[in-house]
Structure 1
Amino acid sequence: MSTFANEYTTRDGLDLARLLYSREVSPRELMEFAIAAAEAVNPRFNAFCFPRHEEALEESARSTLRGTFGALPFVFKDSGLAAAGHRGSIGSRLFTGTLSSVDSTLAARFRDDGFISFGRTTVPEMCMAPTTEALQNGGPTRNPWDPTRSAGGSSGGAAVAVATGVVPIAHGSDGGGSIRIPAACCGIYGLKTSRGLVPHGPAKGEGWGGLAVHGVLTRTVRDSAAALDGIAGMEAGAPYASPVKPDSYLARIDEEFDRPLRVAKWTRGWDDIEIAPDCLEALGVAERALKSLGHQVVEAPLPPLDFSGFVDALIDVLCANAATSVNDLLAANPRVDMREALEPAILDAWELGNELTATKYVAAINTFHRVGRILDSYMQTYDFVLSPTLTRPPAELGEFSMACDFRSLRRRVANYTLSLALINASGQPAASLPVFRNPAGLPVGVQLVGRFGSDAEVLKLSAHLERETRWADLQFVNSVTQDRCGERRRETGVAEASSGG
């Protein structure tokens, strides 16, 4: 039997919630472990920002257990999601210290389901890169498996927080792969939900022309399913209808499929973009697991779409959003020198966005909608699509530096992330599955894409593959975090608890 302090970093959220409800551990004790773990991790990996440790300790001490998770330590991504009492920056020196005075709908749902946040996690500037290396963060967010490589982006800090065991569940968002990229880089599970399923309001109705969604990153599928039970569902006044929600996503993941599934496998890239052998090997692991489960996997042609044209449309929409955000701040603070505060690529995006015509923006949105129709038609032949999450293993730090023009940056991003933003355009659910480690020991993810609104089925098949590939055996074990939690246990005298699931 190991001490609870050492087990804390490997237990999932539902197991910790069970301990809370059975009174084997208190909310304050859990928060102390989480903060101790964050303090141990951050000097090495730089994943946390805008801490509110004292406030979180006080909140946990007076909290009553509620929702699925009771009083579970949690962190919000520094992506601008309003959460009362939380400062943020969207990864930018221009926006640093922005304070939320009220909760967004999603933040309120997280609180109601038993999450207590003790700070935010790092992002690239304005969440517009596949790595997390914003100057605002004082250095890059590093990959736990290899600190010379990126943890991914834009939910890079959130992925590190989960992979290293600081929290079992962390808030993330995905506008072009920003949950799936860091999940693949850090060897954890990341689900991008269907458009409209998780609320954006009330201050906003959508992000990036309908591409962006909110969600969580986790180590286990069941934690993602349980979290979605608490946060998903219709929001009054939302511009997109929410897909039909089952009574419980968590209850669905242990069900069997009523027939063998037909799964399309993508092994090529549009415009002859190369896919690394490690990523194809990971795809093979998932394919063999699906076949052993009785499903059919077929080598399928790519959907017939203009990939380069889509990338250009994505760049236009990102530039328009960058310009809007910066201009809103300048209207309130006209003396701010944004040319000194913004990194070169984002400054370029701001300038391009200010030059963008209304007709070009509408054309970009129409391109998104066209991609959605093409992919929806394609999916009528298949139940799921299986593809590499990224075209190669985690990028080296500095490879996607913001010290360049925005268009060239985003075109290089498209070669790295390939199909991810396309799935944002179509609104389909998709998850990155941590099924493989390459010979260098780096995680390599595989993407599972479902039909629009089939989030329950994506979670269910993910859970089946989780068991079949035994990906829990491949996850990161952080002895530094466990040692620091052990010190916290000795300081507080927390009792041992028996091992859970």
Structure 2
Amino acid sequence: MGRALERIGREDPRLCAFIEVWPERALADEDRARRLPLSGMPFAVKGPAGIRSYAARRLVAAGGVPVGATSVPGPGTPWQTWGLGAHGRTVNPWHPERTPGGSSAGSAVAVAADLVELATGSDGAGSVRIPAAWCGVFGLKTTNGLLPSPDRSGLASAGVLTRSAARARTYLSCVLDSCGPATADLPIPAVFSPDLGYAEVDPEVGSVVRRAVGRLVAGGVVRLVDRTCELLDPREAWQAVRSGEPSPAATEIRRENDLRLDALFSRTPLLLTPTTPNRPHGHDGPGDLYSTALTWAFNLSGHPAASVPAGFTADGCPVGLQLAAERGADVPLLGMALAVENVLITVRS
């Protein structure tokens, strides 16, 4: 606990990952927590309301110790891929002049900078997976409705950011009433879609992801099947659900994409895509780009999805590989992510 608090005190004025830090509370809770399964593991929560979330309460009950609340976008922000901490704007640990992503911005930075082992997040359009990809950590969006969420639209689901898929297993074992072993039979039949049929992907980001998928095939982790995944652009449907103003066109987009994804997952357990179409943008915003282009389809459909570090662009920006699975297959997805991560980490090291 002392190490985590010391690192936060030293590094956070530069990173701006936290809006609040609770050293007195954390130290007071440490002795009690040591007698529980998580043995006083320090963790962070997303935003000012994060400590009241279902996931945070379950982690505390298992012996986790919350050390602070992480940054989220400031008020009035028209785009959600940044954070505002107590000391200023949240910076990407790899490139301070660029954003870490969001809206779980501080959670991703706190994990990437080794300030905590685990941080909670929430994901309504990619808010866990995008910062995970841009900060080079693991991020999981759970199946919509699997865990309680305050989001009335049904788009947002609970998630977690960790330095590895293995540590995310700790999260699932605490927040789920029943959690079996996270394993996968290899090779995993998988479909690779470079753009989901509609997204414009930065060529270098696409190249990093293609190389990562090639390593997985060569390493015997996945077996690519001769199928593709082409969806309708979900932007109009997502915006209609978020605004509560459905239209016939938006309803049809959602229905058609659900049919296509149901058909895919009825035959293949894993879908692979880039997590984002772009690399981290500057603090002045993404411009006309939609960083959510490849993530929000799964908020609409409800499927669980994860981002695993896939490599780096030539200018040193982390790139994420997105894994999606059938609804409710969160534990099997984590098992597949573990197998994927083992190969990609070995190659990077």
TM-score (norm 2): 0.89
Q: For structure 1, list consecutive stretches of 5 or more residues without a partner in the other structure.
A: 1-29, 84-102, 234-244, 321-356, 401-408, 475-501
Determine the structure 2 residue equivalent to 1:98: none
Q: CA deviation at 1:385?
A: 0.9
In structure 1, the residue matched to 2:41 is 72
What is the CA–CA distance in structure 1 between the aligned matches of 2:201 and 2:164, rounded to whole Å?
30
| Counterpart pick for 2:190 among 235, 244, 263 | 263
Match for residue 153 of structure 2? 209
- Correspondent of 1:222 among 166, 174, 187: 166
Q: Distance in 2 between matches of 1:366 and 1:111?
A: 42
Q: Does 2:319 align with 1:444?
A: yes
Instruction: Render the CA deviation track for 1:96-119: whole Å, top value 9, x for unaligned.
Output: xxxxxxx44333211111111121
The range that moved more, 374-383 or 460-469, is 374-383
CA distance in 2, matches of 1:165, 1:272: 33
Q: Quick one: structure 1 residues 252 and 149, their matched pair in 2 at CA, closer, same or farther if it must change by over 3 Å?
A: same
Which is richer in helix? 1
Task: Tell me, yes or no, if structure 1 residue 315 matches structure 2 residue 230.
Answer: no
Q: Residue 258 of structure 2 aligns with which residue?
A: 372
- The Cα RMSD (Å) is 2.7
Structure 2 residue aligned with 1:132:
82
Query: Residues 377, 79 of structure 1: CA spacing in aligned structure 2 closer, same or farther, 3 A cutoff?
Result: farther
The 5-angstrom pairing of residues 20-39 of structure 1 reads 30=1, 32-39=2-9
Name 1:56's counterpart in structure 2: 26
Specify whether residues 51 and 363 from structure 1 end up closer, same or farther in structure 2 by C-alpha distance, changes over 3 A only.
farther
Q: Distance in 2 between matches of 1:378 and 1:269?
A: 12
Distance 1:213 1:177 in 2: 10
The equivalent position to 2:278 in structure 1, one of 376, 384, 392, is 392
State whether residues 36 and 63 of structure 2, in contact with CA within 8 Å, keep that contact through their aligned partners in structure 1: yes
Shift of 1:215: 2.1
The CA deviation string for residues 234-269 of structure 1, in whole angstroms up to 9 with x for no partner, is xxxxxxxxxxx54x3xx333xx51x64321111235
Report the Cα distance in structure 2 between the residues aligned to 1:299 and 1:444, rounded to whole angstroms: 25
Q: Distance in 2 between matches of 1:52 and 1:272?
A: 42
SS at match of 2:300: helix
Deviations 1:375-430 (A, max 9, x none): 22232232211111111221222123xxxxxxxx7xx453x232200011111111
Gaps of 5+ in 2: none
Scaled by the length of structure 1, the TM-score of the pair is 0.64
1:180-219 → structure 2 map (5 Å cutoff): 180-200=129-149, 204=150, 207=151, 209-219=153-163
Q: Which AA in structure 1 matches 2:153? A: G
CA distance in 1, matches of 2:237, 2:293: 15
Corresponding position of 1:12? none
What amino acid is the match of 1:73? P
Shift in alpha-carbon separation, 1:143–1:304, aligned structure 2, 3 A? closer
CA contact (8 A) 1:290 1:465 kept: no
* Structure-2 change in CA distance of 1:66 and 1:316 (3 Å): farther
Q: 1:264 to 1:128 in 2, by over 3 A?
A: farther
| Code of the aligned partner of 2:308 | L
Task: Return closer, same or farther for 1:227/1:196 CA change in 2, 3 Å cut-off.
Answer: same
Q: How many residues align?
A: 348
Whether the aligned pair in 2 keeps the contact of 1:279 and 1:390 (CA below 8 Å) is: no
Percent identical pairs in the alignment equals 29
Q: Distance in 2 between matches of 1:317 and 1:431?
A: 22
Instruction: Answer whether contact 2:195 2:294 (CA < 8 A) is retained.
Output: no
Mapped to 2, the partners of 1:58 and 1:362 lie a distance apart of 55
Contact 2:46–2:107, Cα closer than 8 Å, also in 1: yes
- Secondary structure of 1:435's counterpart equals strand
Change (3 A) 1:229 1:413: farther
1:77 touches 1:123 (CA, 8 Å); kept in 2?
yes
Measured against aligned partners, the alpha-carbon deviations of 1:253-287 in whole angstroms (never above 9, x if no partner) come to: 3xx51x64321111235446233223332232233
Q: Shift of the alpha carbon at 1:318?
A: 3.4
| Structure 2: distance between partners of 1:113 and 1:128 | 37
Separation (CA, whole Å) in 2 of partners of 1:282 and 1:367: 27
Residue among 330, 334, 338 paired with 1:459:
334
Does the 8 Å CA contact 1:436/1:444 hold for their aligned counterparts?
A: yes
Distance (Å, rounded) in 2 between the aligned partners of 1:290 and 1:462: 14
| Larger RCO (alpha carbons 8 Å, 6+ apart) | 1
Query: Residues 219 and 199 from structure 1, CA distance in 2 versus in 1: closer, same or farther, beyond 3 angstroms?
Result: same
**CA deviation string 1:314-353 (max 9, x = no partner):** 2244345xxxxxxxxxxxxxxxxxxxxxxxxxxxxxxxxx
Equivalent pair of 2:33/2:65 in contact (CA under 8 Å)? no
